[in-house]
């Protein structure tokens, strides 16, 4: 049986890839927010 490495974000339980895929393939708009010490970036994806 071969060893398969799992993705880091999946291993750390930070990203639910099934939910992410459904969100990206869906027809609804969604917002992503990136917060740093000085700035806040907000994107609206269509």
Q: Where are the domains of the chain?
A: 8-45
Q: What is the pTM of this model?
A: 0.59
Give the pLDDT score at 36.
Answer: 97
Distance CA 17, CA 24 (A): 10
Collapsed DSSP state (helix, strand, coil) of residue 4:
coil
Structure tokens at 12: 């750390």
Give the pLDDT score at 27.
Answer: 87
Structure tokens at 14: 């930070």
Q: Convert the pLDDT of each residue in 1-46 to its tens digit.
A: 789 888 999 999 999 999 999 988 998 999 999 999 999 999 999 8
Structure tokens at 11: 């291993």
């Amino acid at each position: 049986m071969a060893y398969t490495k799992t993705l880091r974000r999946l291993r750390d339980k930070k990203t639910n890839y099934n939910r992410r895929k459904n969100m990206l393939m869906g027809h609804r708009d969604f917002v992503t927010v990136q917060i740093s010490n000085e700035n806040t970036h907000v994107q609206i994806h269509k």
